[in-house]
Chain A
Amino acid sequence: MIDPLIWLILLPLAWATLAFLLGPGRGARTAIAGLSLQLWLAFDLAMKIGAGGPALHAVGGWGAPLGIDLAADGLSAVMLLLAQSVALPLALYARAYFAPDKTETRYFWPLIGFLLAGLNALFLSADLFNLYVTLELVGLAAVGLVAAGGGAAQVAAALRYLFAALLGSSMYLLGVALIYGAYGTVSLVTLEPLLTADAPRIVWMAGGLMLAGLLLKTALFPFHYWLPPAHASAPAPVSALLSALVVKASFYLILRLWLGPFAPLVGALAWLPMLLGAGAIFWGSWQAIRTPHLKMLVAWSTVAQLGYLFLIFPLLATTGALQAGVMQAVAHGLAKAAMFMAAGVLIKATGQDMVAGLAGVAQRLPLTLFSFGLAGVTLMGLPPSAGFLAKWLLIEAALAQGYWFIALVALAGGLLAAGYVFRVLRQAFLLAPVAYAIAAVPRTLEWTAFALATASVLLGLRGVELMALLAAGSAP
């Protein structure tokens, strides 16, 4: 009997260790085989949860108070599916992207395995302390991936990222310590009935600390300072992984705490994340429109798109808002991975990373540019993309509760996204003479980016299934 809950964590740990021992060539093959199995396991788990409700696994046969419980509901299943389905095409892409003899390749495969093990464990954790450990695992692996390039800029970006991550998780840990001091438990399920609106002041402090730490890790404006340098200076496959999945991990955690144990406390606080989210949309888009570098543009767009995730918090009384947030997380995950992958191809082919240097690539790399455009369609929220569905749900929830200005922010954000996406496309279609030779790029790079971009658009048509899965776990 294979329990997907435990194998989703063990499998990446196993192939990460193997990849370290085998070296980059055979390590890559091991990783891709492992990731394919994981994708199948995630589907299997999603089917089980869709049919039979939340799943639970006591690690090693030891139950919750003494041992560690793993739990999965609809939300976890959606995030697990997203993580595996972004990681597999990304691994195929990375295998073609990296030269096999570089140092960055040697560390890439083990680190990506540890990162995925951490992410999967985070989505499956059922207590506050386990969540802290997995959050740190994800953070350390991600910092390693940023630094793997080995240049001074990358190491500096990695250190900046590491300090932001450590500050965030230390604040979270202090929150956990205070909660344990007040209630003597860290289990999410046990805490839920204990926390009420008249909880002692120490619990409010703990909640505030945890929320602030996680916002720092999610890079919500104005805590975003570490994200653009870290995401832009890493190699393209790493940037794609960081933007698509790693920032979503702490968002998932905020959502989990907000909807779970902290639900009675946060009523009045809900406007704070929403206002910061609106700030993120405007500031991130504005910087994306201004920056001269292609990867910086995509990284700033991540800052902006993360803002949408936080617009939902005042609206969470209706189920549509949660659906909008999760849909946006999935849509942005797929689209941003595709966009960074396409940007990586453009940079590899033209040998430079200025937006202004892209003139004329439309004739030479039509497929890659098409992928970039498709990912852009999702970010702008045009039908039938998943991004459109997310914005539609968000605007519907906002108007139903009379908060028209949230709808307005979402619409304005779509227009701003069009601003920076078309900036790239316009430049690419110029018929300027190309000042440099466009290098040939492996076909795999172009097709994997295209596959993810297409998925982000077509998911809009299968949104109902995803929403059904999300609802499957939340029913008691």
Chain B
Amino acid sequence: MSSGLIFAITGVVLFAMGSAGMLLVAHLLRRILAFNLMGSGAFLILVGLAQRGGTPDPVPQAMVLTGIVVAVAATALALALLRKLHTLNGRTELPRVEDD
């Protein structure tokens, strides 16, 4: 088994854990962490699958770098919103939707 494949399989496991967290966990901070786990999983897959013949491919590395910037921005926005929600009504979970 090549090292690239090990990276990719780890990525799949991380992605699955992250998406389960996004869907199942109610605490918002944990959901934000779960999103980051999902993102890291996708990045590992991207870099791992692209390693062919032992030479690293620069294109996915550039993509992952861009992806990390996007994920940091999204995390910052989510954290800011969570803090705002917490100061407004002291909660760290979303209210239930009544008509759904």
Residues in A with CB closer than 8 Å to B99 are 287, 290-291
Contact call B49/A170, Cβ cutoff below 8 A = no
Residues in A with CB closer than 8 Å to B6 are none
Give the number of residue pairs across the A-B interface with Cβ within 8 Å: 102
Contact call B97/A229, Cβ cutoff below 8 A = yes
Residues in B with CB closer than 8 Å to A133 are 66, 70
Contact call B19/A167, Cβ cutoff below 8 A = yes
Residues in B with CB closer than 8 Å to A129 are 63, 66
User: What are the interface flags for A266-304 relative to B under an 8 Å C-beta threshold, 1 for contact and 0 otherwise?
Assistant: 000000000000000000000100110000000000000
| C-alpha gap A59/B100 in the complex (Å) | 45
Task: Answer whether residue B84 sits at the interface, using C-beta atoms and an 8 A cutoff.
Answer: yes
**How many B residues, CB 8 Å from partner?**
43
Q: Given A155-B85, A180-B60, are A170 and B50 also a contact pair (CB < 8 Å)?
A: no
Contact call B8/A150, Cβ cutoff below 8 A = no
Task: Answer whether residue A140 sits at the interface, using C-beta atoms and an 8 A cutoff.
Answer: yes
Residues in B with CB closer than 8 Å to A327 are none
Task: Answer whether residue B9 sits at the interface, using C-beta atoms and an 8 A cutoff.
Answer: no
Residues in A with CB closer than 8 Å to B74 are 136, 140, 162, 166
| C-alpha gap A430/B2 in the complex (Å) | 75
- Binding site secondary structure of chain A: helix
8 Å CB contact of B46 from A152, A159, A163, A180: A180
| C-alpha gap A166/B84 in the complex (Å) | 19
Residues in A with CB closer than 8 Å to B81 are 143, 147, 155, 158-159, 162
- Binding site secondary structure of chain B: helix
User: What are the interface flags for A182-204 relative to B under an 8 Å C-beta threshold, 1 for contact and 0 otherwise?
Assistant: 10101000000000000000000
| C-alpha gap A180/B84 in the complex (Å) | 39
Task: Answer whether residue A265 sits at the interface, using C-beta atoms and an 8 A cutoff.
Answer: no
| C-alpha gap A469/B48 in the complex (Å) | 42
Q: Can you name the residue of chain B whose Cβ is closest to the Cβ of A152?
A: B88
Contact call B39/A225, Cβ cutoff below 8 A = no
Contact call A156/B94, Cβ cutoff below 8 A = yes
Residues in B with CB closer than 8 Å to A176 are 46
Q: Can you name the residue of chain A whose Cβ is closest to the Cβ of B62?
A: A129
Q: Can you name the residue of chain A whose Cβ is closest to the Cβ of B15?
A: A174
User: What are the interface flags for B43-54 relative to A under an 8 Å C-beta threshold, 1 for contact and 0 otherwise?
Assistant: 101101110100
Q: Given A152-B89, A159-B82, A177-B46, are A170 and B35 also a contact pair (CB < 8 Å)?
A: yes
8 Å CB contact of A181 from B39, B50, B97: B50
| C-alpha gap A184/B48 in the complex (Å) | 12
Q: Which B positions have Cβ atoms within 8 angstroms of A? A: 8, 11, 15, 18-19, 22-23, 28, 31, 35, 38-39, 41-43, 45-46, 48-50, 52, 57, 59-60, 63, 66-67, 70, 73-74, 77-78, 81-82, 84-85, 88-89, 94-95, 97, 99-100
**A/B interface sample: 22 pairs, CB < 8 A:** A132-B70, A136-B70, A150-B84, A152-B85, A155-B84, A155-B85, A156-B85, A159-B28, A159-B81, A159-B82, A159-B94, A160-B94, A162-B78, A163-B31, A166-B78, A167-B35, A173-B42, A174-B45, A177-B42, A177-B49, A180-B49, A181-B46
